Chains A and B, each alone.
Chain A
């Protein structure tokens, strides 16, 4: 019998599991994919929003500002990169000034510090590549960037260190109310639990509606992105937004924590909860809109494009509460932007609700800190030399573009939450994330995966399930 089952190992689910693992509780996390960070958490802007966008008084605003404030300490505890690079919201005409002022006022009401309106000239002094059309901008020095994969993984690993159990390839099919809580059916497995946290991203409505008569609806809102080569990574230094419209924060241009340039997203409501395909229309729109901010955007340096789905709830608000007519069933639904920023605060809030319900007590020995993967790039020359002496695999470069060594890949495969696929390795080590997009390293990484997991090559996948990379042997059908 579990005390809590969390559905979904995205960033909200993982943050929740980590907060719950501070308590004397048996916590399980069920994830339908083969790894953490496979849905909404995987494909987003990687922005730590300052908090001026959300309506004052909303839960979204509260979570955003709180999450932003927590990020410094959290990323230090979890040993992942985070940078307060500051963000700029551009406006392009005098008559947009009123909206910019309103945004500033809204931010101040939300508790965002040090907001400032800058003239076009002042902004261009900060960012010389911005358009001459920029009339003014709202500057938020507290805006930042974080790596969504690393944040999600680190939260999950730390939860795991503290006893939370993660089950992958475990798709919840049915939730039954029982006397003591809920019975969850996932394939051939059932899980008995006292309460449930529904952190299922675009599927949160499906699970909520299984237990509650007060139906909710989550619409996948697609966002398409371009990722540019590191050579283009310093085109801008701040996160560049445009004055927001009805469908969210518009197209942004931002550096990433790893030095690439990210451009996007679009915002289109779709039916398909797995509709992560990119479209020509979408990508063209991204290019066109982004060039309004940065006219000389080096789009020839695009190395990949992708699409993510935001879990948009009809009321455009986070739903973080016990379902009215389903005792012990806690929703963590409608987590769209600023969901990544808010994740630490969301975890805290959900844990507060759940532990209150369960009257749980804090553990004596919660391990607050998690050690990240060894990254030779961050070591001194002497320390790196020592590392290679101890483990020569750190001297064997597998991914040329991102200079990732065999040692790093092997470590990723043997972590508490292990990498099982090419994408799993990529998200943890960046092998395959560079400009050749895994052309050179994928056969080598596949070999390492097969060797370390002691499985045949043909079972190695790109991202779990039936995404097997090898379909047979030469001449096996002849």
Chain B
């Protein structure tokens, strides 16, 4: 087997596919995708609902349809893929150790690596929900796979904790497949999902959403028999006396996604304490030169369209790195989070290396109405963008212009903050 490639992409989901295609289009044709599943497309394969691709294709596609478009692009370019292949290790010298049935354990030497491993769901344990540990407690994504790929119904009477998008989508899916979804509970005073999903997945089916509620007990020794919800106070502590028990056989959890960075961590890539993904610069390059990251492994996205955009940029930058053979050392400006901003991607910008405009993506820490996104450097306002509404469930983007970062305009850092009117 071929053991050297210019670029190796870890993960063949939407991020990996778009990154590989972009690198190819920039003239780096020696690209390999390593995918652990038996098909490309990643988690999109189980997202059979529509609503994907409005930004990219101006039409509403299902997850598999969206993935297919990128798979076709990868096929056209004859990009090599190894499926059912698990990457076990990446070294800072970009030697990749992987494993599959056919080739056993093998190593591949790359000139650049693009991390595109996606994310995983937070399990019950991370929330410390008390109670028994019977069958019938699923993360929403696991249930989604069972229902959408395998055709199995994991339960008939369902309570959902967490109003993340997968939870909302699964409320509708379970209902359509014949299960009764009794309630969706959300710890926070606002939903973690897209507004359109609340309308289309809950409201349209008469499924109640209980904000500021959490699960305080799970009963049933073999199979879930009931779940008790309680209201929480402003410190997210359950309020005694507000408990309400729901008879059900299933509890679905949609309580957050975590970028899957075991490989990055072992590799020694610096990780961001808020996103859980690598800290990257404007080229989406991590703290290790020649290692790039994009998609949900970098930070959890709300829409796949933005994953594809970001991955295209990562692929382009990785190709530029391979062409140049090194990372340019030039002035770097940190991007800081001001009030209301939880994180930014990128977290640092090298003005000399950026395109004419650079998208900076971030999430806000609470719901804002009629507020402005302010981008400042020192006393200079680089950009101001009014937004009628912003919520933690939706990603925000500002486009910073290269010419706004001229040396006389710019201080020691750039700060993005939210200012209410």
A interface vs B, CB < 8 Å? Answer: 226-227, 231, 274, 276-280, 282-283, 302-306, 381, 384-385, 388-389, 392-393, 395-397, 400-401, 403, 435-440, 442-443, 457-458, 461-463, 465-478
Answer yes or no: B133 CB below 8 A from chain A CBs: yes
* 20 pairs from A and B in contact (CB 8 Å cutoff): A277-B130, A278-B131, A283-B128, A302-B128, A305-B128, A388-B105, A396-B84, A403-B86, A438-B123, A439-B141, A443-B145, A443-B146, A462-B134, A467-B134, A468-B135, A469-B154, A473-B151, A473-B153, A474-B152, A478-B177
Q: How far is the CB of A151 from chain B (nearest CB, A)?
A: 22
Which B residues from 142 to 188 make CB contacts under 8 A with A? 142, 145-147, 149-156, 177-178
Answer yes or no: B310 CB below 8 A from chain A CBs: no
Answer yes or no: B139 CB below 8 A from chain A CBs: yes
With A436-B121, A439-B141 known, 11 other A-B pairs at CB within 8 A are A304-B124, A305-B128, A395-B100, A395-B104, A436-B120, A437-B124, A438-B123, A462-B222, A466-B222, A467-B135, A472-B178
B134 cross-chain contacts in A, Cβ below 8 A: 462, 467
User: What's the Cα separation between A381 and B136 when bound, in Å?
Assistant: 39
Q: How far is the CB of A48 from chain B (nearest CB, A)?
A: 26
User: What's the Cα separation between A437 and B139 when bound, in Å?
Assistant: 10
User: What's the Cα separation between A395 and B102 when bound, in Å?
Assistant: 8
Answer yes or no: B2 CB below 8 A from chain A CBs: no
Contact A472 B99, beta carbon cutoff 8 Å: no
Decide: A306 near B36, CB < 8 A? Known: A384-B104, A436-B120, A439-B141: no
Query: Contact check: which of A302, A305, A467 meets B222 at CB < 8 Å?
Result: A467
User: What's the Cα separation between A469 and B223 when bound, in Å?
Assistant: 8
Output the residue of B133, B139, B146, B260 with the most chain A CB within 10 A. Answer: B133
A303 cross-chain contacts in B, Cβ below 8 A: 123, 125-126
By Cβ-Cβ distance, the 4 closest A-B pairs, closest first, are: A304-B125, A437-B123, A392-B101, A462-B135
A306 cross-chain contacts in B, Cβ below 8 A: 133
User: What's the Cα separation between A306 and B123 when bound, in Å?
Assistant: 14
Contact B99 A276, beta carbon cutoff 8 Å: no
User: What's the Cα separation between A252 and B286 when bound, in Å?
Assistant: 39
B156 cross-chain contacts in A, Cβ below 8 A: 471-472, 477
Q: How far is the CB of B132 from chain A (nearest CB, A)?
A: 5
User: What's the Cα separation between A396 and B86 when bound, in Å?
Assistant: 8
Contact with A along B83-94 (1 / 0, CB 8 A): 010101000000
Answer yes or no: B282 CB below 8 A from chain A CBs: no
Answer yes or no: B216 CB below 8 A from chain A CBs: yes
Decide: A439 near B123, CB < 8 A? Known: A463-B135, A470-B152, A472-B152: yes
B150 cross-chain contacts in A, Cβ below 8 A: 443, 457
Contact B123 A304, beta carbon cutoff 8 Å: yes
Decide: A385 near B178, CB < 8 A? Known: A403-B88, A472-B152: no
Decide: A473 near B86, CB < 8 A? Known: A306-B133, A395-B102: no
Closest to B120 in A: A436
User: What's the Cα separation between A413 and B351 when bound, in Å?
Assistant: 58
Chain B: interface residue total (CB-CB under 8 A): 54
Query: Contact check: which of A278, A436, A440, A443 meets B130 at CB < 8 Å?
Result: A278
Contact B104 A385, beta carbon cutoff 8 Å: yes
B260 cross-chain contacts in A, Cβ below 8 A: 400
A439 cross-chain contacts in B, Cβ below 8 A: 120-121, 123, 139, 141-142
A443 cross-chain contacts in B, Cβ below 8 A: 142, 145-146, 149-150
B interface vs A, CB < 8 Å? Answer: 36, 84, 86, 88, 99-105, 120-121, 123-126, 128, 130-136, 139, 141-142, 145-147, 149-156, 177-178, 216-219, 221-223, 238, 249-250, 260, 262, 265
Decide: A471 near B249, CB < 8 A? Known: A227-B125, A303-B123, A384-B104: yes
User: What's the Cα separation between A403 and B147 when bound, in Å?
Assistant: 25
B125 cross-chain contacts in A, Cβ below 8 A: 227, 302-305, 437
Q: How far is the CB of B43 from chain A (nearest CB, A)?
A: 10
User: What's the Cα separation between A306 and B177 when bound, in Å?
Assistant: 33
Contact B86 A397, beta carbon cutoff 8 Å: yes
Query: Contact check: which of B103, B135, B178 meets A474 at CB < 8 Å?
Result: B178
Query: Contact check: which of B102, B142, B147, B222 meets A392 at CB < 8 Å?
Result: B102
Q: How far is the CB of B120 from chain A (nearest CB, A)?
A: 5
User: What's the Cα separation between A114 and B238 when bound, in Å?
Assistant: 49
Q: How far is the CB of A411 from chain B (nearest CB, A)?
A: 16
B250 cross-chain contacts in A, Cβ below 8 A: 471
Decide: A302 near B126, CB < 8 A? Known: A388-B101, A389-B104, A397-B86: yes
A463 cross-chain contacts in B, Cβ below 8 A: 135, 222
B223 cross-chain contacts in A, Cβ below 8 A: 466-468
B105 cross-chain contacts in A, Cβ below 8 A: 381, 384-385, 388, 395
Q: How far is the CB of B222 from chain A (nearest CB, A)?
A: 4
Contact B36 A474, beta carbon cutoff 8 Å: no
Closest to A439 in B: B139
Query: Contact check: which of B104, B121, B130 meets A279 at CB < 8 Å?
Result: B130
User: What's the Cα separation between A401 and B142 when bound, in Å?
Assistant: 15
B133 cross-chain contacts in A, Cβ below 8 A: 276, 306
Q: How far is the CB of B220 from chain A (nearest CB, A)?
A: 9
